[in-house]
Amino acid sequence: MIPIYRKDEINKFIKKYDTRRQRISEEVRSTVEKILTRVRGKGDEALYEYILQFDGVDLKESGFKVPEWEIEQAVESIPEKILSILKQSIENIQYYHEKEKRNSWLAWKEEGVILGQRITPLERVGIYVPGGRAFYPSSLIMAGVPAKVAGVKEIVVATPPDENGKIHPSLLTVAYLLGIKEIYRISGAQAVAALAFGTSSIPPVDKIVGPGNSFVAEAKRQVFGVVDIDMIAGPSEVLILADETANPDYVAADLLAQAEHDPSASSIAVVFSSRLAEKIQESVEIQKKSLSRKEILHSSLKEWSGILIADDFPSGIELINHIAPEHLGLHVKNPWEVVGKIQNSGAIFIGSFSPETVGDYWAGPNHILPTNRTARFSSPLGTEDFLKKSSLIYYSKDALEKVSESLIAFAKMEGLDGHANAVQKRKS
């Protein structure tokens, strides 16, 4: 049962909630470090060993890369209705991410001075998609579409194989629809290592994006600097702000939708009356009975979830901005008035008919979002994550002459004679 925290108990919940951000265990850290070192040194040999060890699949004969015929076969096996849904989802996500794209620019500041910025796509990007027993085509859509919109030349997918060494047809179909042909059957920290360092059969990438378990997250942390990464993702979370106009069944459904992700997922409701809190709690229990992932729901709701009864609206907003939720649902009378008060949230779902589900699969914004309070300083994955910027600076001879004395003085103030000399040599 999801617990209710009354006004004098909220601080207790917040202290417990904040422990979700605790640092990675030493066991995970050291295990990942060993895997990265071995893959970096032994390459494909280490990958084959780890895939056999962790996934129970021997790929030495078939290799890591999924052949094109297998991709085409997968597309043919997908029912027409599902194919149409996948195409529409991609179209929706592409529409949104095209709005995010930025262009290079130049500005003539004054005579003889031109400043600007050149924006170019990354050359090669690796997308990690969780898989194996489960499959997540939506994760590939959310990572692949903005990379494609940005103009990334080479998009690579790494995803775990099932017990037969196969990748789910829906995932291969999304890759086909996005024009991705380089798909590798590799999992976990070893997949991150292969993408970062490269092996004889897998060329390295410039950036790794996509969600994964704690080993994937730690591997991404450790290879950052060799390559770029999107973020260190933690367990998923939702917070629903609900006033007296909220439908308790809708709130409960949204809490359960998030809780089914993972035993460490967090589902929180912030309300302003005991009556509404009890109605939501009751609805959660009723709806939970009809859902399949009962053990995960039980753990998530008991350990990391809660219905918080806030004193008033300002204190409710304060709670939101402290928790900085990955997903925020506004089930309130005037949700558009509330949006401007939200400082920290990955995605904001406005009104009672905007469930998280529509954001996960359909609406357009990215569902790869900052978790564990990182929405305080980071943003959803987007087109800009696959672009890089180069500053452009042009000074004519006359323009440099005008500022040369200031430059020389500044350089000498810092004790950098070479900098001063670089200007002095150009003076008339």
For the chain, the structural domain boundaries read: 4-23+234-376, 43-229, 396-424
Instruction: Indicate whether 393 pLDDT > 80.
Output: yes
Instruction: Indicate whether 24 pLDDT > 80.
Output: no
Give the residue-averaged pLDDT of 65-72: 95
Token output for 171: 């995932």
Are the C-beta atoms of 261 and 289 separated by less than 8 Å? no
- Residue range 4-23+234-376 forms a domain whose CATH class is alpha beta
Q: By percentage, how much of the chain surpasses pLDDT 90? A: 83
Q: By percentage, how much of the chain surpasses pLDDT 70? A: 98
Position 61 scores a pLDDT of 87
Instruction: Indicate whether 54 pLDDT > 70.
Output: yes
Half-sphere exposure of 266 (CA within 13 A, CB side): 28
CA angle at residue 69 from 64 to 73, to 5 degrees?
A: 110
Other Cβ atoms closer than 10 A to 183: 26
Distance (Å, rounded) from C-alpha 119 to C-alpha 148? 15
Are the C-beta atoms of 233 and 211 separated by less than 8 Å? yes
Which has the minimum average pLDDT: 22-31, 151-160, 253-262, 346-355?
22-31
| Catalytic (active-site) positions | 326-327
- pLDDT, tens digit (0-9, with 9 covering 90-100), for 409-419: 999 999 999 99
Position 214 scores a pLDDT of 86
Q: Do domains 4-23+234-376 and 43-229 have the same CATH topology?
A: yes
Position 22 scores a pLDDT of 60
The rounded Cα 151 to chain-centroid distance in angstroms is: 19
- Residue range 43-229 forms a domain whose CATH class is alpha beta
pTM assigned to the model: 0.91
Task: Return all residues near 392 (Cβ < 8 A) that are at least 6 apart.
Answer: 106, 114, 115, 116, 117, 118
pLDDT band at 273 (very low <50, low <70, confident <90, very high): very high
- pLDDT, tens digit (0-9, with 9 covering 90-100), for 114-137: 999 999 999 999 999 987 666 889
DSSP 20: G
